[in-house]
Structure formats: C-alpha cells, structure tokens
Structure 1
Amino acid sequence: MRAGVDVGPTNTDAAHLADDGSVLATVKVASVPGDPAAGVRAALARLPRRELTHVAVGLRATAASVVRRQGLRKVGVLRIGGAPARAVRPLSGWPPDLREAVSAGYAIVDGGGGLDPEDWAPLDRDAVARFASGVAGRAQAVAVAGLFSPLDGDQEREAAEIVRAELGDLPIALSADLGSIGLLERENATVLDAALSGVAGALADGLAATLAELCPGAAVLVTRGDGTLMSLEHLARHPGLSLGSGPASVLRGAGVLAGLGDAVVADVGARRITVGALAGGFPEEAVGGAEIGGVPVGFRVPSLIRVPVPFDPADLAEAVDRLQPGPGRLPLVVVGGGAESVPQGLHPPHGKAAGAIGAAVSPVGGQYERIVRAPDRSALAQAMEAVAEEARAAAVRAGADPRHVRILEAADTRLAYLPGPFVKLRARAAGPPSRL
C-alpha cells in the first residue's frame, strides 16, 4: 500500500494506491501557503488510515524559492580550471536580483586543464584557501565546479576539503555529483543546489516529522524533475533535483491513468494549462537544458509549454502540436482540476489527482554522465558498464532497493568537437523504494 501527495500552489492532492497500482481513494484540500508539510498533513489526514509501505510527495517549494528569490542561502562560488575557465565569470547572465540574493563572491583558481592526464595541472591549494578566507562571514554555503570534472572530479573533492578546513561544517555542493557536462549549466545547477540547502533541509525535517506521526514505518520520498523519486536525505543533499518535480509527477500520473507510455498531456489548472509529453512513461526532457528562474541549469526537467487561463483553443492546439514528436500523432491526455474545460482528448478517471498518483507509482532514480576516451568498441563497452554502475549506485543512494535497480537508458555520443576518440556516456537507472 502506498500514498502519493502533490503539493500545488492552490490545492494539495493525495491518493492511496494498492500494490497493483489501482487507485483506492483520492482527496483534494487547500494548500497551506509557505508550509508544504502542513498541506501534506491535511491531505493525508482526509484519507482512510492504512498501513503504508511508502509515501511519495511532489513538491514545488524549491522552484518557488528560486522564482520568488526567497529563503536562498548566500553562496561562495569556486571554479577550477585556470585560464581556459576565465572567459565567462561565474553567475554571468543571471538575473540581477537573483544574483544579488545568492552571491557571496567567487574565485577562479588553477587546476585541471586537459583532456589527457599528462596535461593536468595541480590544484592551486593556496588560492582555494584564500577564496575560503575571502568569503568567510558572508557565505552560508559553497559551490565548487571544475572545468574538467566530467573527466575527473577529484580536484573538486580536494578543494572541498580545503574549504571545509577553513570555514567549518557548512554545505558544499560539488558539480561532479550532478553529472552533467556543460560547465556553465553544471555550475549554475551547483550554485542553486547550495543556495537551496536551507530550504531543502527545513522541508525534509518538516516532512519527516509529519509523516513519522501520520504514517509510522513508511519510507518517505519526494519527486524529482526527471519523473523519479529520491529520499529526504537525498533531497537535503541535492535540492536542485526537485526542480520541475511537480509537472513531472503530473505527466507520469496522466500516463499511468490513461494506460499510455507515450502521450501529450495537458494539466489544466486554475491559472494556466501546462502541456508536456511522455516518452516511455517518463517526461520528455527540455531540449538544450532547462531554465529555472531565468538561469540555464544542468538539471533534468520536463519540456513544458504554458498556456494562460482563460485560454484560446488555438493556443492550446499549437502547444499540443509543438510537442508532437513527428508526423504520427500522440494521443492527448487531459488532467487537472479544470480538465472539463478542455473537451478534446482523453479524460481518465482520477485525473484531478494525477500528480499524487504519478508520485505514488514512480520509481527511485539515479543518473550519471561522463566523458571518456574510447579508442575501440571494447573500451567503450567497458566504460559504459562503469557508467551504468555509477547510475545504479546513484539510484541506491537516492533510496532505491539495490536488489531491483535496473538500467532505463544507456547512450553514447561521439564528441566530434574534441580531438581524439572522446565519447559522452550517459546512463539512467531506477528501482522500487527500499523498504529497509
């Protein structure tokens, strides 16, 4: 038995599901502004009391903090890479008000510096220590991003040890832990991870206390932007992974309710219609990366088009057409509290609680990316297996049962713009929540 909760800006939905995925009960209550845990408590209290194996919660609190510039910690940003990393400064291109809310200063230090081991320069440890001293008293968290971390993240970890020795036990986010490739998007994601650490910690504590009382013994998880789940501990470590999680849960739930793995989904709310697409049961990701609060980031979030309410049917039709993958039309699934205002498409039962149902049925996920030199197919296969194993390990760290984790996707892309046989490898893994 499991429960899902979707905390929206206006309403909070909750659902009970049996182990076979059938929906047993749903409720809708008013959300509590500024207190997601209170909304979760109110919604679950309206459902019949049952013994649950796990509760999964869809959240928008982290995204709201970024958009509203509220509750964000001041972050010192350390970039490792020397001269090649100085062309664009950290936080360049950020909206001025968000940069002001987050920035505690930055430094670019020598280190890394090549595609081959013999080209690497040692980390400038003295410069790292000077950076830490320079942001002392201002920085509430630190973000570390290395230009060549997708090849080797050791220098980021070395820098973190120096920073911690200077500043004590404050949150330090490392870009190597996020696994994406592009420097600026990966660095921006790492900065947001650090900035959101206070919000996420308070949110995790509030949910843990609420659900320990209401659902003792149940594993507690939260949704993430790629349509999978993670534990509260993982949320506290990597809060940025929850960005885009609300829409991802709705897309997943709509597909499950309609019995479709591939579809276009329209979520009709009080203020807008959010349109996204499913492929293989998971949200289609934003092409070219995501943008959160005006900042391009290396997080995996759904590709979405938003149509204001009240809406022009032509605008909705255009949004649906833009998300069609090709000449073959995907079915349209319409869910949400205002679904009856859209007569087209499929309207599955329990569609008003699609987000809660999507949270409840989602697996725990993990992903990993890396650039490797692969001169032949045997070397490529060996490297891919290592990347797949890292993705499995990431899913287990996020709360998946290690006995049942499987690879969802494994892909290799030749990097023609780099000299030599360099390949970008990516793997995604998922499994049911651990019951230990």
Structure 2
Amino acid sequence: MTYQIGIDVGGTNTDAVILDERRKVIAATKQHTTKDIQTGISNALHEVLNQSGVNPDYITDVMLGTTQATNAIVERKSLAKVGVIRLGYPATASIVPFTEWPSDMVSLLSGTYQLVHGGYEFDGNNISPIDYNEIRKVLKGWKGKVDSIAVVGVFSSLNPDQEESVKKLATEILGDVPISISSKIGSLGLIARENATILNASLYKVINKVAIGFDKALQDEGIKKCNKYLTQNDGTLMTLDYAKLYPILTIGSGPTNSIRGAAYLAKIRESLVLDIGGTTSDIGVLINGFPRESSLAVNVGGIQTNFRMPDILSVGLGGGSVVRQLSNGEVTVGPDSVGYNITQEALVFGGQTTTATDIAVAMGVAKVGDSKKVDGLDRTFVKKAFKKISEILEDAIDKMKTSAEKVDLVLVGGGAIIAPDYLKGVSHIFKNEQGGVANAIGATIAQIGGQYEKIYQYAQYKREEALRDTQKLAKKQAIQAGADPESVRLVDIEEMPLAYAPGETTKVKAKVVGDFMKK
C-alpha cells in the first residue's frame, strides 16, 4: 500500500491529510501556521503520520499549496531586484515599465528597465528590427546590479522568438540569473502581461526558500522517497523545478485547492463552492470539476496583472469575525477578525470578544467550546447578527451566480460552522465532515496541468491545425511540469476572435491535465 500527503499552508492554519491508494482520507489535521512556515508544515506532517501509523517509506507523493508568493508581494518581503527589457521601442515609449506601480514596490524591485528595439505588430511584422548589440550593452551594464531579468515583447503571444533569443543572450552574459519571459506567463495585454512577468521574476528567492523548507520538513519526518509538487492556481500541480521557473503560478492556489477538494468530497463537477475560514469567506465556481477562470485583470498587491487566476470572490466574514452592536441598534459582523486567536478570544472558549462562531453556537447551529458561555447574550442581538451573517453570504453568492436560477452549493472550510442551513438562491447545500481540510484534500487529488494560449490568423493558418498546435504546446508544458506523456488529456479549449485584427485573427487557449510521472 502506498500513500499521498496533501498540505495547504494558509495565513491562519496549515492543514494536512493522508490519502491511501483508493483516495480515502485516513488522517487529517489542522495546525497553526508558523512564522517560518517550515515548523507549521513539520507539525502537520508529524501529526498525520502519528494518527495513521503509516511508514514514511510508503509515502510516494507530497503536494504543497502555499500562500508564500502572495504574502511576499503583499508584505513587500524577500523580493528580488528585477531588470526589465521591453522589446517594443519606439512604439511603446509613452507608457514605460512600472507605470502605476506602488512607489514602495518600485523601489524594492529597483525600478530598472530599458526599452529596446524589437517587438511585433498584430499581423506578425516587426515593429522595428531587433538590435542584439543594443541588448548586449544593456545586459552588461546590469551585471551585479539586478538579481533577475524580465523579458517582455509586444505581441510575443503571437511569436515568442524574440523573447527566447533575448533569454539565451542574457544567460550567456549574466550566467545563472533567473530569466522570465512574458509569453510563458501572461495573456495579450502588454502592460498587464509585463507586470505579471516582473512579479514572477521578483519571486525566485521566495520560491527557493519554500522549496528548501519543504524539503527539510519532509527530511525531518523521514519522508525521503517521494515526488514533491506545488499546487498551481488552476487546480493542477507542478514539480518544484517547474515552480522555480514560474512561482507566480502559486498565487491563488489556496482557494483553488478548496474548490477542487470540495468537488471531490461532494462528488459533483458543477456548483458554487463556499470556503469559510477564520477571517474571510471565498466563493468560487466549479466547472467540469475545475475552478472557473477569471476573465478580468487581477490585482496582486496593488499591481494589475493578466495571468490566469481562479474567479474568486472574497468577503470579510469568517469564524473569527468580530460582532458588534452599534449605538443605533445596528449589528455589524467583521470584516476584522480575531483570526488564529479565536481559541483564546471567542466567548465560547473563555475569551472576551463576541465572534461569528459565538453567534452560531448561541443559535444552536454549531457545537464548539462551552455553549453556556453565550447564554447571557441578548436574543435579539444574536438573531440580528445571524441574519447579518446570512445576508453577507447570500449577497456574495448572488454576485457569483450567472443566472437567477437556484444553484447547488458545497460548503467547506474550518469556519463553515457559522453558515445557516438555508441560504436564498441555493437549492441544496452539500456538507462533509472532512470539509474543514478540503484545501489539503484538493492539493492531494490534483493532477499535473498545462495551459497555453497563442494567436493565429485563420486566413493563413487552418483552424484545425491551430487547435492541434495549441493543444500540443499545452501538452509540452504539462510534461515539463512533471506529467506522464501517455496520460495527458484535453480538459478545455477556447477560441476568442479578435475583432480589431485582420485575417480572422483568433486567440486559442488549451488546458490539459495528466497523471504525475512515477519514479
């Protein structure tokens, strides 16, 4: 018998589960996240191994979902100094790199950039001839001054050749310096794609630290023969080596893991998923077993990007949300929360702060702590607060629905105990006793993924060939991320005509998944 472990590191808790070959959960735990991350992971691993009695030698795969990349950007910590080369002079000189970035972030990343000749028009013609001597001079001037390089070309989604050639040149001049190219990261829009590429280049120190801590935590628990993966924000996995190339793909993986875990627990592939934590509630949409992708530009730490992200709505409501009664009689719930201090501060645990969990216990919908400690709460206050909790959730659900029809809802997360049994607009609520660790389960059951998008002109390129080509490139990406080539299958393919471009110009995007390669 072999086993798999899934770990999800959140801002409050680090969850871990062990699944057997039949994908049955045989051990689960929820531990506090620690400042150094590694200790929290070690504590979670130690607990599930003790619970299950599994020999560490029989652990074949360990999957980790982490918020470390997101936290590093939001908190402005451990980021690398980035040099940006944009291929698109003189056409793009009016808006330079780092435009509209927060000033503290620009200073932290050095704000170093250079516009050089190159780039493509939408029809594939050069904006201006690329000048390798110009680029060589720039790179030599940056030697020792930047930690990583971001290479961005106009319409590189149409043709990534120039970016690839600059990457090769940068490696020759700068040696072992991480280089990110935009055609592998973002979508069409130049500025948002450039922003995502710069952020990716800034995260290599963070992801290396995660990889080292992950390795050490496994070693300390005697898990030495396993494959190691990080979860991506589209619900799939990637090897540690692949994650070091594209650390930005870990951003948003936490809510995605919960959505995938929810689908597994409820045995459904189409529904809304509500993940209630200690501080926030995240709502996502399951489509064919995977999270719906956002079609909007994503703001990460005050910076607009356009790389793939799940369509998630977060609201400031969780089990630790603080409940107050105002002087006018109105009751508020959140958005501030006692977070991981709930076991010290909530009334039912002997604390002095009224939280959403206290309200749920007082209403009889939750059984945690000592219910006698909330007997003294005014019943009118309790009912108003519980109604407010319902309204916050119902409003968020309504925003994520695509029609007025009632929808199924899967309820997961450690704070799910505060949710009422009935919500407007919902036909059925699915719950599972293991919903509190749905995020770790989602990480464990994930497959290796690959996604690629490219622009074609159907007037010159047959549609069938374009679809095959994009699928082939997505498969190549999945294999690079660690998938078994024989297992890769197509999950989704999209075509988006670009009305402003001639020659039936169309953006094609393919997503594939596959099983991970066994050692």
Q: Same fold (TM over 0.5)?
A: yes
Greater mean alpha carbon deviation, residues 37-46 or residues 386-395:
37-46
Greater mean alpha carbon deviation, residues 269-278 or residues 242-251:
269-278
- Identify the residue that residue 157 of structure 1 maps to in structure 2: 164
- Identify the residue that residue 315 of structure 1 maps to in structure 2: 392
- Tell me by how many angstroms 1:82 deviates: 1.9
- 1:335 and 2:412 matched: yes
- Tell me by how many angstroms 1:324 deviates: 1.2
- Aligned-pair identity in percent equals 34
- 1:282 and 2:284 matched: no
Selected match of 1:421 from 504, 511, 517:
504
CA distance in 2, matches of 1:372, 1:246: 34
Question: Does the 8 Å contact 1:179/1:370 carry over to 2?
Answer: no
Runs of 4+ in 1 over 6 A off after TM superposition: none
Greater mean alpha carbon deviation, residues 353-362 or residues 118-127:
118-127
Pairwise mapping of residues 220-235 of structure 1 onto structure 2 (< 5 A)? 220-235=228-243
CA distance in 2, matches of 1:20, 1:223: 21
- Identify the residue that residue 27 of structure 2 maps to in structure 1: 25
Pairwise mapping of residues 111-130 of structure 1 onto structure 2 (< 5 A)? 111-117=118-124, 119=126, 121-130=128-137
- Tell me by how many angstroms 1:104 deviates: 4.0
- Tell me by how many angstroms 1:165 deviates: 3.2
Pairwise mapping of residues 82-101 of structure 1 onto structure 2 (< 5 A)? 82-101=89-108
- Identify the residue that residue 7 of structure 1 maps to in structure 2: 9
Selected match of 1:148 from 155, 168, 172:
155
Partner-residue secondary structure (3-state), 1:169: coil
Pairwise mapping of residues 49-88 of structure 1 onto structure 2 (< 5 A)? 49-50=54-55, 51-88=58-95
Partner-residue secondary structure (3-state), 1:247: helix
| Distance change in 2, residues 1:120/1:88 (3 Å) | closer
Question: Does the 8 Å contact 1:7/1:13 carry over to 2?
Answer: yes
Selected match of 2:403 from 303, 318, 326:
326
| Distance change in 2, residues 1:128/1:307 (3 Å) | same
CA distance in 2, matches of 1:188, 1:402: 32
Greater mean alpha carbon deviation, residues 415-424 or residues 237-246:
415-424
Give per-residue Cα distances to partners, 1:373-414, cap 9 Å, x unaligned. 1127x8111111011011011111111111101011111111
What are the ranges of 5 or more consecutive residues in structure 1 without an aligned counterpart?
none
Question: Does the 8 Å contact 1:73/1:195 carry over to 2?
Answer: yes
| Distance change in 2, residues 1:179/1:366 (3 Å) | farther
- Tell me by how many angstroms 1:178 deviates: 2.0
Partner-residue secondary structure (3-state), 1:81: strand
Pairwise mapping of residues 179-190 of structure 1 onto structure 2 (< 5 A)? 180-190=187-197
RMSD across aligned C-alpha pairs, in angstroms? 1.7
Selected match of 2:312 from 283, 304, 319:
304
Query: What TM-score do the two structures reach when normalised by structure 2?
Result: 0.80
CA distance in 1, matches of 2:142, 2:262: 46
Give per-residue Cα distances to partners, 1:110-155, cap 9 Å, x unaligned. 1133244554643121221232234333211110010021111111
CA distance in 2, matches of 1:188, 1:103: 14
Give per-residue Cα distances to partners, 1:320-377, cap 9 Å, x unaligned. 111112233221222111111112333212011010000001111010010111127x
**Residue identity matched to 1:131:** V
- Identify the residue that residue 42 of structure 1 maps to in structure 2: 43
Question: Does the 8 Å contact 2:118/2:126 carry over to 1?
Answer: no
CA distance in 2, matches of 1:212, 1:394: 29
**Residue identity matched to 2:281:** I
CA distance in 1, matches of 2:271, 2:294: 16
Selected match of 2:255 from 231, 241, 247:
247
Larger radius of gyration: 2
- 1:404 and 2:412 matched: no
- 1:374 and 2:458 matched: yes
CA distance in 2, matches of 1:408, 1:190: 26
CA distance in 2, matches of 1:303, 1:117: 32
**Number of equivalent positions:** 434
- Identify the residue that residue 191 of structure 1 maps to in structure 2: 198
| Distance change in 2, residues 1:329/1:131 (3 Å) | farther
- Identify the residue that residue 272 of structure 1 maps to in structure 2: 280
**Residue identity matched to 1:319:** A
Question: Does the 8 Å contact 1:204/1:235 carry over to 2?
Answer: no
**Residue identity matched to 1:201:** N
**Residue identity matched to 2:21:** D
CA distance in 1, matches of 2:277, 2:459: 51
Partner-residue secondary structure (3-state), 1:331: strand
- 1:208 and 2:291 matched: no
CA distance in 2, matches of 1:182, 1:398: 25
| Distance change in 2, residues 1:332/1:116 (3 Å) | closer
Partner-residue secondary structure (3-state), 2:29: strand
What are the ranges of 5 or more consecutive residues in structure 2 without an aligned counterpart?
322-332, 334-387, 422-428
Question: Does the 8 Å contact 2:124/2:158 carry over to 1?
Answer: no
Give per-residue Cα distances to partners, 1:60-116, cap 9 Å, x unaligned. 011000000000001011100122222311111212222221134101111133244
Question: Does the 8 Å contact 2:496/2:506 carry over to 1?
Answer: yes
Selected match of 1:362 from 430, 446, 456:
446
CA distance in 2, matches of 1:263, 1:38: 36
CA distance in 2, matches of 1:422, 1:10: 46
Partner-residue secondary structure (3-state), 2:59: coil
Question: Does the 8 Å contact 2:91/2:127 carry over to 1?
Answer: no
Partner-residue secondary structure (3-state), 2:517: coil
- Identify the residue that residue 262 of structure 1 maps to in structure 2: 270
CA distance in 1, matches of 2:450, 2:219: 25
